[in-house]
Amino acid sequence: MATRTSSAPQSSSRTGKPARSPRSGGTAARSKGTSTTRSGVTSTDSGQPWPARVLSGVWLALAHAVGGGVRRIGTDVSHIPADERRDGAGLFNLALAVFIATFAWWGWQGWFPDAVYAVVNGTFGWISLLLPLMLGVCAFRLFRRPQDHRGNNRVGIGFLVMAFAGTGIAHVAGGLPAASAGFEGLRAAGGMLGFLAASPLAEIHPAVPVLVYGALAFVSLLIVTATPFATIPRRMRGAWEHLMGVDLHPDDREGGGGAHDRSYLEDSERRAREAAKERRKKGRKGLLGRGGADESDASEGYAGDEPYEQAVVDTIDPDAAPAAPDERAAGRSQAEAAIEKIRAAQQGRVGTKAPEGATEAIPTVGLPGAGGAAAPHVPSTPVAPTPPPAPIPQRTEQLQLAGDVAYTLPQSDFLVQGTAPKERTEANDAVVAALTNTLQQFNVDAEVTGFSRGPTVTRYEIELAPGTKVEKVTALSKNIAYAVASSDVRILSPIPGKSAIGIEIPNMDRETVSLGDVLRSNNARRTEHPMVMGVGKDVEGGFVVANLAKMPHMLVAGATGAGKSSFVNSMITSILMRATPDEVRMVMVDPKRVELTAYEGVPHLITPIITSPKKAAEALQWVVREMDARYDDLANYGFKHIDDFNKAVRAGKVIPPAGSERKVRPYPYLLVIVDELADLMMVAPRDVEDSIVRITQLARAAGIHLVLATQRPSVDVVTGLIKANVPSRMAFATSSVTDSRVVLDQPGAEKLIGQGDALFLPMGASKPMRVQGAWVSESEIHKVVEHVKGQLSVTYRDDVAAEPEKKQIDEEIGDDLEVLVQATELVVTTQFGSTSMLQRKLRVGFAKAGRLMDLLESRGVVGPSEGSKARDVLVKPDDLPAVLAALRGQEAPSSDAGTGPAEARTAAALADNASANHRTGEYEESSPYAEDRVAADLDARSQAVDYHDGSDGEDGSEDAWQLTGR
Ligand SMILES: Nc1ncnc2c1ncn2[C@@H]1O[C@H](COP(=O)(O)OP(=O)(O)OP(=O)(O)O)[C@@H](O)[C@H]1O
């Protein structure tokens, strides 16, 4: 097989003009002499005699015609760029295969075929019968997979070894003919090659060549089929299972560890690498001119945003630019330019043209011109490898929704694989040299001892000699920034958990952190909790996942374009990937109207996406009501956390009181996402703040979690009360240190470099962790959403965004007047507004008692629900006759109170009561529920008490986030 030749990549100077590179010999040679033909074979344009040019033209035309046809067989791969095809070589292999077949298989005769046959057959013996097959396979690969040089070379070498081993075996099988037996004897066995290969070994024993060449033939088979040794047992088992239709080791499918898993991962890695290569090719072909690896498979025009979108388009002169073999090379040249900048800065040559050869590999010793300090070769921390897009193991429990609907979670390969992480690049070594130089120039007795490269920034570790002050390094921040030619240098002193100073410097070649990789990482696989989301990658390259249920509420803030919406998208997509609508329901508030529209109609939604700030404020009030309802249940059945309640319900241990028609179901987690808090706070600041404070103070145990995003982290939006109750923070780049303080209570976010670079401060953490947020493209979101919508259609609740209804009492009372009158008497005379009491005393079900309580509230007899507390009774026993009369639609008996109708009085009392409650912070989680507990349904409690084990709910023992290992 011919190998492709290409000219060496050339470097370009900062002006964008091609630089003379000592390695390539300058541009002159390139433009004048060689060119790469479409088939990838290097030829010279000039100086060829015309018959040769005509012949080569005819050959290539034929090759392209045949190659074009072969590429369309089965899966059409005609998209392979013309400059990567190797049709000439493919046609050569094909022609040879056909030619040998004509006489070896079909017996073509004549002086020419006879002569060739004698040579081929004399060399390989009867193994020559297999040559057309081998050549045909090579030709097929060259036509269809020309870019896979390694694969093609491997198959070629494998066939050569196989043919050689085959001749050895054929020689033994042919009776070990001696050379004296003549040419004919050898041709009937393994030919001359077989004779040479086998006869020396056969001297020892005739079985020896069989064993040796048998083993070699087996190895050649492994080479051709790219089968690692480790996978042989599994593949054989797979083949056996396939043949027999059995499943020998079902457990292995659960993605357990062990050798099987490893080899499986190896396989998937290889497949992923090939897929990524293919994607890159497509991307290069120019899909919409956007994309790169992640976007290249963007289907049906769902291009959406790109990661690291730039307003400024690089103005590279296409003619002057070197022909980069692939994007990685493009990345490299970017990094080279960066290194060059650092060198120039160190040498005081900023703005001047670099001397020739400046982009050669940076030595890890001191750079010239700045004192010549020796830069040590510092170790880099290994980064977590990109997990292959292997399917996430099936959930152990059945995903059966209520109503017996089978629900399948989206496949993990809907989310693409990200770029492979790099452990170190030349730019890192250059920065180490620059830092070492700077420390030496300023006589600081410290050294760079290592670095860890994250997707966005690299953190260099500096250790001080005993007696050296930390301030000596921190005071150098400007000089360090100057030396490494970057204004976004962040100094950490110390790195949490280490006696070292950290200097975070942005990478010139950032890596995209794909949400798919984060969700496929071991950390995410370790838990099946439906509220786990992929956050991103930390500075050490470890995957960060977080459990939203443990946060329990989060503030996401940052300037425009810093990456909030992308984060929210990752969060929602994580939930859709991992949770059924029975497990997590969402309320999405998107006043910007465009950010979340992609999710419209997913069955996890409880209400259509809310875009009106006013409706959003009402929706928050609905959430408060929902929370109250959940608390009522928790209190009535004696549970402290919704997880415990749900467990008991699933175990069939929560039984509604006799007479109740209610069917108790587990409560899903409720995730409320507000994608611009500022818009809501402008419309109804008090109501919104009240609802948020109320929800955040209580909702954790009710399984309700808030995520509030804003680009205006000012004190009028993120008020003190909101801040105090939203413990987890995600700060993207802010425009000022003041904003950073509002979000994190400390500076730092103003130094972030935007586009997903964030400081993550989960509840309980003392120091924020720097992460690069996970990225999910719109086409990925589209695939996930389509899948989810295909599983189940959405059922919205119509009461969420609607104004709480003013009840038409009289119509509503209907047949219940008598029992309502009894309830009123009961509540007013005992001055105790408890639903459970009504249930017991009036012998009605929970639903009916709740309805009676609602009626009493709307008639002003009791105050609003206050979670699990008993309601305030607003009517004094003295006023009872008037209230009863009003209920019956009769004239109110005269009252000397002179305060007007009971409703008016109670409405006023109700309003006062509500606002007073909020002002005095009566909704503290510690507020006494004793009264309500007394009134709680004792039967229900005794039924449920066994199941109240307090597990994974509130124990707080498990961290809200995990930082991985590798
Ligand atoms: N995690 C990420 N990885 C890569 N690129 C990102 C990431 N997050 C954001 N970006 C880039 O930054 C751009 C802006 O991000 P995004 O729309 O999320 O910002 P935002 O903070 O929501 O802005 P706004 O408040 O104006 O909506 C994206 O289009 C993308 O190019």
- What are the DSSP calls for 201-228, one per residue? HHHH-THHHHHHHHHHHHHHHHHHHT--
241: confidence class by pLDDT, cuts 50, 70, 90: low
Residue 574 clears pLDDT 90, i.e. is over it: yes
Pick the atom of ligand 1 nearest to 563's CA.
18
276 C-alpha to center of ligand 1: Å? 24
Residue 137 clears pLDDT 50, i.e. is over it: yes
CA 510, CA 541: separation in Å to the nearest integer?
A: 12
Mean pLDDT across the stretch 626-633? 87
188 C-alpha to center of ligand 1: Å? 71
Work out the burial of residue 318: count CB atoms within 10 Å of its CB; fewer than 13 is exposed, 13-18 middle, 19 or more buried.
exposed
Pick the atom of ligand 1 nearest to 773's CA.
1
* Strand partners for 672: 587, 706
557 C-alpha to center of ligand 1: Å? 12
378: confidence class by pLDDT, cuts 50, 70, 90: low
CA 632, CA 526: separation in Å to the nearest integer?
A: 34
Pick the atom of ligand 1 nearest to 536's CA.
1
Out of 312, 555, 565, 781, mutate this one to test ligand 1's pocket (max ligand atoms within 8 Å of CB): namely 565
- Looking at the chain, the domain(s) classified CATH 1.10.10.10 span 809-935
Q: How many CB atoms lie within 10 A of CB 658?
A: 9
Residue located via tokens 């099988």 = 173
What pLDDT digit, counting tens, does each position of 126-136 carry?
888 889 999 99
Is 308's C-beta closer than 6 angstroms to any atom of ligand 1?
Answer: yes
Spell out where 372-497 has E strands: 380-381, 400-401, 405-406, 446-453, 457-464, 490-492
Is 304's C-beta closer than 6 angstroms to any atom of ligand 1?
Answer: no
Pick the atom of ligand 1 nearest to 558's CA.
21
* Tokens linked to 759: 């400081």
Is 309's C-beta closer than 6 angstroms to any atom of ligand 1?
Answer: yes
- What are the DSSP calls for 567-614, one per residue? HHHHHHHHHHHH--TTTEEEEEE-TTSSSSGGGTT-TTBSSSPB--HH
Residue 610 clears pLDDT 80, i.e. is over it: yes
Is 560's C-beta closer than 6 angstroms to any atom of ligand 1?
Answer: yes
Give the pLDDT score at 40. 37
What pLDDT digit, counting tens, does each position of 409-452 carry?
888 888 988 877 877 788 888 889 899 999 998 988 988 988 88
Q: How far is CA 537 from each of CA 384, 392, 545, 759, rounded to the nearest angstrom?
A: 9, 19, 9, 11
- Indicate the annotated binding residues for ATP: 558-565
Give the pLDDT score at 604. 93
- Looking at the chain, the domain(s) classified CATH 3.40.50.300 span 536-791
CA 894, CA 448: separation in Å to the nearest integer?
A: 90
Bigger pLDDT: 731 or 636? 731
Give the pLDDT score at 176. 85
307 C-alpha to center of ligand 1: Å? 7
Is 836's C-beta closer than 6 angstroms to any atom of ligand 1?
Answer: no
- Stretch among 103-112, 149-158, 289-298, 886-895 having the lowest mean pLDDT: 289-298
What's phi and psi for 213, nearest 5 deg? -80, -25
What pLDDT digit, counting tens, does each position of 77-124 carry?
777 777 778 888 999 999 989 988 888 788 777 888 788 888 888 888
172 C-alpha to center of ligand 1: Å? 69
Q: How many CB atoms lie within 10 A of CB 472?
A: 16
pTM of the predicted structure, to 2 decimals: 0.52
Mean pLDDT across the stretch 899-918? 36
Give the pLDDT score at 237. 75
Residue 254 clears pLDDT 80, i.e. is over it: no
Mean pLDDT across the stretch 247-257? 40
Out of 512, 566, 776, mutate this one to test ligand 1's pocket (max ligand atoms within 8 Å of CB): namely 566
Give the pLDDT score at 393. 53
Is 773's C-beta closer than 6 angstroms to any atom of ligand 1?
Answer: yes
Pick the atom of ligand 1 nearest to 568's CA.
18
Is 436's C-beta closer than 6 angstroms to any atom of ligand 1?
Answer: no
10 C-alpha to center of ligand 1: Å? 34
- Stretch among 65-79, 430-444, 516-530 having the lowest mean pLDDT: 65-79
Give the pLDDT score at 965. 32
Pick the atom of ligand 1 nearest to 676's CA.
25
768 C-alpha to center of ligand 1: Å? 20
Is 418's C-beta closer than 6 angstroms to any atom of ligand 1?
Answer: no
912 C-alpha to center of ligand 1: Å? 44
CA 42, CA 36: separation in Å to the nearest integer?
A: 5
Give the residue whose CA is nearest to atom 14 of ligand 1: 561
What pLDDT digit, counting tens, does each position of 873-898 carry?
888 888 888 788 777 776 555 433 33
Give the pLDDT score at 588. 92
What proportion of the chain, given as a percentage, has pLDDT over 90? Answer: 14
530 C-alpha to center of ligand 1: Å? 25
74 C-alpha to center of ligand 1: Å? 40
773 C-alpha to center of ligand 1: Å? 9
Mean pLDDT across the stretch 658-673? 85
Is 711's C-beta closer than 6 angstroms to any atom of ligand 1?
Answer: yes
Residue 353 clears pLDDT 70, i.e. is over it: no
Is 103's C-beta closer than 6 angstroms to any atom of ligand 1?
Answer: no
Closest CA to 159 of 220, 247, 70, 229: 220
CATH of domain 327-390+422-506: 3.30.980.40
User: What 8-state DSSP symbol labels residue 356?
Assistant: T
Mean pLDDT across the stretch 233-238? 73
- Looking at the chain, the domain(s) classified CATH 3.30.980.40 span 327-390+422-506
Evaluate whether 636 touches 649 at the Cβ level (below 8 Å). no
Is 561's C-beta closer than 6 angstroms to any atom of ligand 1?
Answer: yes
Residue located via tokens 């830092």 = 435
Q: How many CB atoms lie within 10 A of CB 868?
A: 21
295 C-alpha to center of ligand 1: Å? 15
Give the residue whose CA is nearest to atom 22 of ligand 1: 565
Pick the atom of ligand 1 nearest to 566's CA.
18
Mean pLDDT across the stretch 626-637? 87
Mean pLDDT across the stretch 843-853? 86
- Indicate the annotated binding residues: 558-565
Bigger pLDDT: 47 or 74? 74
Pick the atom of ligand 1 nearest to 772's CA.
1
Pick the atom of ligand 1 nearest to 513's CA.
3
What pLDDT digit, counting tens, does each position of 48-64 carry?
677 888 888 888 889 98
Which are the contacts of 431, defined by CB distance < 8 A and separation ≥ 6? 342, 451, 458, 460, 484, 505
Give the residue whose CA is nearest to atom 24 of ligand 1: 560
Is 868's C-beta closer than 6 angstroms to any atom of ligand 1?
Answer: no
Q: How many CB atoms lie within 10 A of CB 890?
A: 10
Is 305's C-beta closer than 6 angstroms to any atom of ligand 1?
Answer: yes
CA 881, CA 419: separation in Å to the nearest integer?
A: 76
Half-sphere exposure of 308 (CA within 13 A, CB side): 18
Mean pLDDT across the stretch 927-931? 29
Task: Say which CATH architecture domain 809-935 belongs to.
Answer: Orthogonal Bundle (1.10)
Which are the contacts of 573, defined by CB distance < 8 A and separation ≥ 6? 415, 515, 776, 780, 781, 784
Out of 572, 755, 778, mutate this one to test ligand 1's pocket (max ligand atoms within 8 Å of CB): namely 755
Which are the contacts of 649, defined by CB distance < 8 A and separation ≥ 6? 664, 665, 666
Give the pLDDT score at 360. 29
* Tokens linked to 879: 């006023």
Bigger pLDDT: 802 or 685? 685
CA 191, CA 171: separation in Å to the nearest integer?
A: 7
Pick the atom of ligand 1 nearest to 569's CA.
18
Is 563's C-beta closer than 6 angstroms to any atom of ligand 1?
Answer: yes
Mean pLDDT across the stretch 279-298? 37
Is 440's C-beta closer than 6 angstroms to any atom of ligand 1?
Answer: no
What pLDDT digit, counting tens, does each position of 777-814 carry?
999 999 999 999 988 888 887 766 555 444 444 566 77
What pLDDT digit, counting tens, does each position of 330-339 carry?
444 444 555 5
Is 187's C-beta closer than 6 angstroms to any atom of ligand 1?
Answer: no
Task: Name the CATH superfamily housing domain 536-791.
Answer: P-loop containing nucleotide triphosphate hydrolases (3.40.50.300)
675 C-alpha to center of ligand 1: Å? 13
Rg, C-alpha atoms of the chain? 37
Residue 764 clears pLDDT 50, i.e. is over it: yes
Question: Beta 584-589 vs 669-674: how paired, if at all?
Answer: parallel
Give the residue whose CA is nearest to atom 30 of ligand 1: 307
